């Protein structure tokens, strides 16, 4: 059955603004982040969602709340789970990214941030993040899509990059170069066979 899936990285957070590694740190949205969530809702205005999913971190939860309020769909079921949390940045959480690059070297920090299977000290690699995201997707989200339902996921840059690798068949080498912008929806159309027939990036 035909269905749609929209994925959204939360709006700008306080740590995004301060150029800090966020990970599991539970920080608020900035005023700009709330505006990004509002603009995202306007881009999704014509879509109807049956269910919504988010992490247990408040920056994603608030972004989802703003989107649902904007599109007038506050009453749909919302599921929150730590499986969709941002990757754990371990010892780097709360540290300034530029200062960390000066300390460890830009190449090393770039490897920690963008590679598929290299984890930062005390944290998770993208591969490890994917190992918790995909089982949750298969168990809870994919069955809804197969029933012809439209689903909205509001989560984080890395948990969504991990999901994108599966949805778009992106290789570990290619995912290094992909970054999701805050508050910009990506919409997948599924055909009657459950295959993705169209991907739209609503950046404008």
Q: Please give the positions annotated as active site.
A: 10, 86
CA separation for the pair 15, 95 (Å, rounded): 9
d(CA 100, CA 19): 11
Question: E strands within 83-195?
Answer: 151-155, 186-190
Q: How far is CA 37 from CA 84, 93, 192, in A?
A: 18, 24, 31
- DSSP assignment of 4-66 equals EEEEEEPPPBHHHHTTB--TT--PPB-HHHHHHHHHHHHHTTT---SEEEE-SSHHHHHHHHH
- DSSP per residue over 82-94, as a string? GGGSPPP-GGGTT
């Amino acid at each position: 059955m035909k269905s749609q899936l929209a994925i959204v990285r939360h709006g700008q957070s306080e740590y995004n603004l301060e150029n800090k590694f966020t990970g599991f740190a539970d920080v608020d949205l900035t005023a700009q982040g709330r505006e990004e969530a509002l603009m995202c809702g306007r881009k999704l205005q014509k879509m109807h969602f049956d269910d919504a999913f988010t992490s247990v971190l408040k920056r994603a939860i608030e972004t989802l709340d703003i989107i649902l309020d904007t599109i007038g769909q506050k009453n749909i079921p919302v599921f929150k789970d730590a499986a969709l949390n941002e990757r754990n940045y371990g010892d780097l959480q709360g540290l300034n990214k530029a200062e960390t690059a000066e300390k460890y070297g830009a190449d090393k920090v770039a490897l920690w941030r963008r590679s598929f299977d290299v984890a930062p000290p005390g944290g998770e690699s993208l591969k490890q993040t994917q190992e918790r995201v995909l089982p949750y997707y298969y168990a809870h989200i994919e069955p809804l899509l197969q029933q012809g339902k439209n689903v909205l996921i509001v989560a984080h840059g890395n948990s969504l990059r991990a999901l994108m690798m599966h949805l778009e068949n992106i290789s570990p080498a290619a995912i290094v170069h992909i970054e999701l912008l805050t508050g910009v929806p990506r919409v997948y159309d599924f055909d009657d066979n459950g295959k993705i027939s169209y991907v739209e990036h609503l950046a404008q």
